Structure 1
Amino acid sequence: MSTKTQRRGRLLALGAALALGAVLLSGCMGSAGTATSTGGSSTAAVDNGSATLAMPTEPANIDPIMMRSLSAWNMYYAVFDGLTRIDAKGTIQPGLATQWTSNDTKDVWTFTIRDGVKFQDGSDLKASDIVYTYNKILASDKSTNKVAIAMVSKVEATDAHTVTFTLKNPFSAWLNQVATIGIVPEKVYEALGPDKFPNAPVGTGPYAFVAWNHGVDYKITRNDAYWGTKAKIKDITFSFVGAPDARVTGVESGTLDTAIIPASQVPVFDGAQNARVIEAASNQVAFLGVNTTAGALSNQKVRQAIPLAIDRSSIIKSLLNGLATPTGQPVAKGVTGYVDGYPTPKYDLDAAKKLVADSGYDGEAITLQYASTGGSPTDPEVAQAIAADLGKAGLNIKLVGSEQSSLSLSLANHQITGLYLNYWSPSSMDGDVVVSQLLAGGPEDYARSPEMAKLYVEQQAAGADKRDAVFKQIWQWNTENVSNVPLWQNKNAYAAAGTISWTPAVDGIYRAAEIGRSAK
């Protein structure tokens, strides 16, 4: 059997990103927010229609105080609002705040709060509710959102329409961060508490909560008193459908209106009268993480051989059906920190062999950990293809597969034994979190470089016009030292009913209010 044949398989349900614990904080291809489609048609949106949107995973919790997760954001962005919002293209827009300013050092941020906003129970949004939301997160030892705002030293309502954050350190990405924090009403949250609030949530968003049928679906209905642009579809159901085949069948039969699907299933919809496929940009980057202190990987020449030995284009063509683009940086186009024109390592087996030979490598086994189950469907085949490529360069790769939750635990606990296959999709659409986790002291950083720590601080303090230059230095450091190996930027494939009008967001998260439905 040829290598190419061995590599063939089904494409992962791209966009259902691998999670690092509860936080996989989500590569764009082409222009952010662009989409292409085949088949189907759309006309004016039906005001009182309904739609069922498939989700590959169900969140463990849907409480913006307690939970920070990729899947939960689908509901957050419907039921709650942040001070800012990230639109479908990944751009920061006003939310509950109409404007904002920061001091020169980016450690004091002041937000002007929108007037006349009401929660879905009819009560008025107050500046004190915003202060309460942030302080409640900071006071919780169980909130997975706490890490996202841990830099807050003080948050205060300086008057009825102004909230000021004083941070412990400069943080240029603060506008992206506050977009992911849904604001709750203090009175309601205090009355219900974290145990009851997820099953009776109240926010200011374009949709109001109806019901959460655990293990089945999550229902919402349009908030006709919403302060902003009203949602196009009246009733939305988020249906939890884990199996890719079931999502495909659901759209085919009409029981689902949208679903992320494996690219291997795209031909199913060729010529379909009632459904179409939408291919859309993604903010997900696949990479190999490296424990730079482990055995042979502590040798820089061995590490430098790895990106040259991997035939990215061949893997993308044979395993990912072309729905990815090779990259040399761990953030996708559309994410702040992406550097236009940054080089992607070219496949050069001879150069890789020479680096391995010059390193004095003695054949010691190097583990490559990956999700054998519970992750992306093609992970086992991708891992095998990478191992084969590295073997051609002279490296002895030992594949170690495990269930996704076990791999995530190893990542979170800094227990990787060699190489590992993973993905990053920063839902904040800012590269700060990626650098923090992979290169600047986070659980996936094994190098613990003082030089990188300094660059990370510089990036956080830099103005918007200076950050790209610092990010370029960070990527150059990573290229030289190979703390991780960026592989490719993924692209998403969705199936949608022909009556659905929709441009998927680059972060793979539904903006339910922006989905339209034409007459059937």
Structure 2
Amino acid sequence: MKKTKRLLALALALGMMAGLTACGGSGKTESQPAAAGTSAGNTGNAPAGGASHYVNDEGKVVVNLQRTEGMQSLNIWNYTSGPNYAFAEMVFDALYVSDHGGNCKPCICTGYDLSEDGKEVTLHIAEGVKFFDGSDCDADDVYTQMKYIAEHKDEMALFATNWKYLESAEKVDQHTVKLYLSEPFFSLEISLAYTYIAKAEEIEQYGANLFSSVPSLNGTGRWKLEEWVDGQYLKYVRNYDYWQGGDFTNVDILYVWFITDPTAQNAAFINGEIDFIDNVNVDLRSMLDVVADQCTMKEQIKETMYYLQFKMDGKAPTSDQNLRFAIMHAVDRDAFCTLMGGGTVMNDFFTTHAEGHQPDKPAIGYDPELAKEYLAKSNYNGETLVLLSRSDIEYADSIMTAMADYLNQIGIKTQVDMVDTATMNSRRADGTYDIFMVNLATWDGNALTQNLVPRVVQDMHHNGYVNEELNALIMKAFGDMNAETRVKTLEQVGDILYDLQGPLVPIVQIVGTPCVRNGLTGLIENPLGGYIFTEIAVEESYLK
């Protein structure tokens, strides 16, 4: 099949369907995306002769990756989803860099000094850092961004918690910036690792509109974003002038394709159109047997959970604690794990490796008769509960359908609403839901910064519940520099959430099975599950 025809097939399939049922791909012109890189019929093994799978007609090394969830926006300051983090760390270097497992190391910031009270942080800025336009990234840029964050942090999802205690910034000299905090906090290095630096002049000129279009992205990272087609793909090109050296990879062009349908993912891999599947569907793994000698699959427990959030404003039916316990005893979460191909029924709010996890606490078990007893004690009066989730979350439709059936069996009326990301964000912002389900990662083993503080204390999704004792404990843990006492406080937080079964209730911690085509190297294993792709490369033997 001609490569341009395969590209057209993929583009049409992506454009016509939210979840693909067919997949084609590969184009060889720089104006069009290349789904899988190269020659039709070559599925990725190092060839005995002829063109490499990874080399296109212009001699460029091309790699194609797949993700299920697409990007919500280019604005890395306002969105905190996995795809947005992955995009940010490709295009922008941060003050520190994280492996997302709690291990951070210097990057643009070579190190820092803390005052005795922990409220003054002196950042030392690396020399030789360059933006894409060739200009220097120095203390002016770091100072301007930190000053902007201090003044606008409550308007930006990424920084509302990460830099909650940042009051002001000061430029000391061309390579030194001082930060002033109202309170010390334990996750300083994690916050540094999610502070991707933009250019001072552009922050001053564009403010919150800095990330409104691809041409405006003037980063310092290893990759430049050349094209983003919403819901379809991202196209990156290597930054050959990267300030730490452009030889970090031999890949010239990198595509990330947003393919939601698991059958289409497998078909694209078999046909040589993608080189990586983010998570192979358990029921379809045998489909890849025909290319078993051309790839590696590795099952990983992810530090990612599916959780429910209940509306608890005192008016919604789910404000009733007995009703919430009825719901949790009515659903068979072991069955959800089976549906998803594995996983762990969560017994508390914390994933396996997160601070505060109590492995000996018993999980709320599946018990329909006990669920009926709780329902009888509740004030439930036959209202229809709307079960809301996002259509692009893997297995969400099946889980919500099963959950509705479980609840119907004990006498709770339900309606399942599967919506797109924009509608979900709108519904949560308005607080117009009874129960919603999404997935959530515990970044860096830290359940405070992206989870407890924004979702419970700050009520970012407007569930309407306020518990001053709970909030005080969460903020006490957030400011505690001592790991031992912080963990004990988090265990108290977990006990309260367990007794409430709300406002957030974890369902399962998930298993993922990425599929990697032979020849790919430089993938950094991500403790959250999957890989970090900033240094992805192709083994030289696969380029001949």
TM-score normalised over the length of structure 2: 0.76
In the other structure, the counterpart of 2:214 is 198
Aligned length: 473
2 CA distance for matches of 1:307 and 1:354? 12
Residue 408 and residue 506 in structure 1: after superposition, are their counterparts in 2 closer, same or farther (change >3 A)?
farther
2:305 pairs with 1:285: yes
* 1:474 Cα deviation after fit: 0.8
Matches within 5 A, 1:307-326: 307-317=328-338, 319-322=339-342, 324-326=343-345
Specify whether residues 195 and 332 from structure 1 end up closer, same or farther in structure 2 by C-alpha distance, changes over 3 A only: closer
- In structure 2, do the counterparts of structure 1 residues 259 and 138 end up closer, same or farther at CA, with 3 Å as the change threshold? farther
- Which one of 180, 184, 196 corresponds to residue 166 of structure 1? 180
CA, structure 1 residues 135+95, in 2 after alignment: closer, same or farther (shift >3 Å)?
Answer: same
**Aligned-partner Cα distance in 1 for 2:211–2:441:** 29
Question: Per the alignment, do residues 291 and 191 of structure 1 end up closer, same or farther by CA in structure 2, a change over 3 Å counting?
Answer: closer
Matched residue of 1:72: which SS? helix
Query: Match of 2:226?
Result: 211
**Among 141, 154, 178, which residue is 1:129 paired with?**
141
1:376 aligns with 2:393: yes
Assess if the C-alpha contact under 8 Å between 2:234 and 2:256 holds in 1.
yes
Instruction: Quote the residue 2:488 is aligned against.
Output: 469
Post-superposition offset of 1:116: 3.7
> Is the partner of 2:299 in helix, strand or coil?
strand
- Quote the residue 1:24 is aligned against: none
Instruction: Give 2:453's aligned residue.
Output: 436
The Cα shift of 1:183 comes to: 0.8
Q: Could you tell me how far apart the structure 2 residues matched to 1:184 and 1:429 are?
A: 27
1:471, distance to aligned residue in structure 2 (A): 1.2
Distance between the aligned counterparts of 1:143 and 1:209, measured in 2?
23
In 1: Cα distance, 2:500 partner to 2:205 partner:
52
Is 1:147 the equivalent of 2:163?
A: no
- Tell me the distance in 2 between the aligned counterparts of 1:198 and 1:219: 11
Cα offsets for 1:160-188 (capped at 9, x unmatched): 33322223444322322231221123246
- Percent identity, please: 18
Q: Paired residue for 2:533, among 470, 488, 512?
A: 512
Give the 3-state SS of the residue equivalent to 2:469 in structure 1: helix
The 1-side partners of 2:378 and 2:328 are apart by 18
Q: Deviations over 1:339-369 (max 9, x none)?
A: 5544432334444333333x25454335142
Pairing 1:38-437 to 2, within 5 Å after superposition: 49-64=61-76, 68-87=80-99, 89-103=101-115, 106-137=118-149, 144-145=157-158, 147-148=160-161, 149-187=163-201, 194=210, 198-205=214-221, 207-209=222-224, 211-215=226-230, 216-223=233-240, 225-227=242-244, 231-244=248-261, 245-261=263-279, 262-272=281-291, 273-292=293-312, 293-317=314-338, 319-322=339-342, 324-357=343-376, 359-361=377-379, 363-371=381-389, 374-392=391-409, 394-404=410-420, 405-416=422-433, 418-427=434-443, 430-432=446-448, 433-437=450-454
Change (3 A) 1:346 1:110: farther
Alpha-carbon offset, residue 476 of structure 1 = 0.6
Following superposition, the deviation at residue 74 of structure 1 comes to: 2.1
Distance change >3 Å, CA 442–CA 283, structure 1 → 2: same
Closer, same or farther: CA 467–95 of 1 in aligned 2, 3 Å: farther
After superposition, the Cα gap between the structure-2 partners of 1:252 and 1:297, relative to the gap in structure 1 and judged at 3 Å, is: same
Cα–Cα, structure 1 residues 490 and 187, in superposed 2: closer, same or farther, change >3 Å?
same
Query: Alignment partner for residue 485 of structure 1, among 500, 505, 509?
Result: 505
Q: Secondary structure at the match of 1:270?
A: helix
Structure 1 residues 513 and 117 mapped into 2: Cα distance closer, same or farther (>3 Å)? Answer: same
Q: Which amino acid aligns with 1:330?
A: F
Structure 2: gaps spanning 5 or more residues: 1-18, 21-43, 47-53
Amino acid at match of 1:436: V
Distance 1:102 1:290, change over 3 A: farther
| 8 A Cα contact 1:84 1:96, kept in partner | yes
Q: State TM-score, norm by structure 1.
A: 0.79
Letter of the structure 2 residue corresponding to residue 248 of structure 1 = N
Aligned residue for 1:71, secondary structure, equals helix
My pick for the range that moved more, 439-448 or 509-518, is 509-518
Structure 1 distance, partners of 2:380, 2:447, is 37
| CA contact 2:330–2:407 (8 Å) conserved in 1 | yes
Q: 1:511 to 1:402 in 2, by over 3 A?
A: closer
Please identify, of 249-258 and 380-389, the stretch whose mean Cα deviation from structure 2 is larger. 380-389
The verdict on how the C-alpha distance between 1:285 and 1:105 changes in structure 2, with shifts beyond 3 A counting, is farther
In structure 1, distance between residues paired with 2:412 and 2:211: 50
In the TM superposition, residue 250 of structure 1 has moved relative to its aligned partner by 2.2
**Preserved CA contact (<8 Å) 2:453 2:475:** no
CA deviations 1:399-452 (Å, max 9, x no partner) are 231413323322122222x22222222546521221123322313443211111
Q: Secondary structure, in 3 states, of the residue corresponding to 1:181?
A: coil
Which amino acid is 1:344 matched to?
Answer: A
Residue 499 in structure 1 maps to residue 522 in structure 2 = no
Tell me, what secondary structure is at the counterpart of 1:513?
coil
Once the 2 structures are TM-superposed, how far is the Cα of residue 490 of structure 1 from its aligned partner?
A: 1.3
Superimposed CA distance per residue, residues 477-505 of structure 1 (whole angstroms, 9 cap, x where no aligned partner): 00111213211111223222122233542
Q: SS of the counterpart of 1:400?
A: strand
Deviates more, 1:122-131 or 1:422-431: 422-431
Distance 1:246 1:142, change over 3 A: farther
User: Is the alpha carbon distance of 1:51 and 1:196 closer, same or farther for their aligned partners in structure 2, counting shifts above 3 Å?
Assistant: same
Task: Report deviation, 1:211.
Answer: 1.7
Which residue number in structure 1 is paired with residue 12 of structure 2?
Answer: none
Instruction: Tell me which protein shows more helix as a share of its residues.
Output: 2
Is contact 2:514-2:530 (8 Å) kept? no
Measure how far apart 1:294 and its partner are: 3.9
Structure 1 stretches lacking a partner, 5+ long: 1-11, 14-39
Return closer, same or farther for 1:61/1:390 CA change in 2, 3 Å cut-off. Answer: closer
Contact map agreement 1:70 1:427 (CA 8 A) in 2: no
CA distance in 2, matches of 1:268, 1:167: 54
* Larger Rg, first or second structure (1 or 2): 2
